Chain A
């Protein structure tokens, strides 16, 4: 599958964070250097003060895995062998973000009952691939669709890769 088609197929859940056009532009060089057809594109998402942000994107081919760290004015990526994983670790959890108290109208009496603002609860996941004693890869998730994200990780990096 061509890169563009793969991105269109797999990126819809993350389109609100980075558009597929932008992503295609950001990963063009690592894709070129790997010289293999892309099998999967999975974001590594972390929680910033203003919500989930994509720190890097993992690109998988038959032989390689590549982490492309996203920056507008720099290209920063590394490539490793995909099937050298010795240990596979999952850390799943949740993270609660409390919203600030709602403000009353400026200079007004509080005439309405205070709104009850529910805290925002994010699903979280950290997946570690240990390639040896000192080399590891970690890919993170923060958001509301953890199961489909983990499914994508397991599809391209099944546990049987350890065999």
Chain B
């Protein structure tokens, strides 16, 4: 791969790194705050604080209050448990390494992407990402994922919160529903603060799907800044992704079979 030596440095940059550098220069010329030393560390602190704030927000408190009733409803409907764990989890903030990687990946997918879709023109310089704060709800059964997505939507509607739900089924073997909702928070910097609305992501998946996805990520840390082609791994049985990605599909199938098995067993008993 061709490399370039920047003037005044001994560092060799790959074409990907050069593109990345150009991207950040473009961002910094759009929002000058991005180039200010300490910007990313401050943004990370804000994300951690927002995760704490949203974990105790009225919406999330209402989710925690309603969970026992949802679990009981689901059991009456299906005979099975709704959640794989005993409590609704807290939110976590996204680390800046991941934020930067994700933004670079979005740029790699479309180098002509309008910078305004990644950063706001006005207001606090907070990246326009869906998952600056996120949490994951593990369900016991596949139809629990659909159920949780629905009741979260109903509750958000009842509380007048803007939300969106997506059902993700990716070639990479990722199966989950994403529930996005908006929350007003404060962007803190120096001694001041400014209100800003961020999107929060609730990932909803089965416990099995979560385990497979997280484990496969640990064995193969794919570059999140470059686009991945399925051909890279689909025909190479020695690539760890050759096992991990189809395993995600197999687990999705197994999750579906478990629902059928549960329902048949209910019928027989």
On A, residues with C-beta under 8 Å from B are 16-19, 26, 48-55, 70-73, 97, 99-100, 102-109, 111-112, 120
Contacts and interface: CB of A to CB of B under 8 A. Distances in A.
29 contacts: A16-B65, A17-B69, A26-B76, A48-B75, A48-B81, A49-B86, A50-B67, A50-B81, A50-B82, A50-B85, A50-B140, A51-B68, A53-B75, A54-B72, A70-B75, A71-B76, A71-B79, A73-B77, A102-B90, A105-B48, A105-B93, A105-B95, A106-B92, A107-B94, A107-B95, A108-B48, A108-B93, A111-B48, A120-B87
B86 A97 contact: yes
B67 A109 contact: no
B98 A106 contact: yes
A72 B87 contact: no
Contact of B95 (A17, A71, A106): A106
Q: Is the interface of A mostly helix, strand, loop or mixed?
A: loop
A18 B44 contact: no
B34 interface: no
B87 A70 contact: no
A72 B77 contact: yes
A97 B92 CA distance: 22
Contacts of A17: 68-69, 72
Candidate in B51, B68, B89 with the most chain A CB atoms within 10 angstroms: B68
Given A17-B68, A51-B71, A108 B96 contact: yes
A107 B98 contact: yes
Candidate in A19, A73, A106, A109 with the most chain B CB atoms within 10 angstroms: A106
Contacts of B92: 103-106
Contact of B47 (A55, A73, A103, A105): A105
A9 B93 CA distance: 44
Given A70-B76, A105-B47, A106-B134, A49 B81 contact: yes
Given A49-B85, A72-B77, 11 more contacts: A16-B69, A50-B82, A53-B72, A54-B72, A55-B75, A71-B79, A106-B95, A107-B99, A108-B95, A111-B45, A111-B48
Contact of B69 (A19, A73, A100, A103): A19
A140 to B, nearest CB: 14
Candidate in A17, A50, A99 with the most chain B CB atoms within 10 angstroms: A50
B83 interface: yes
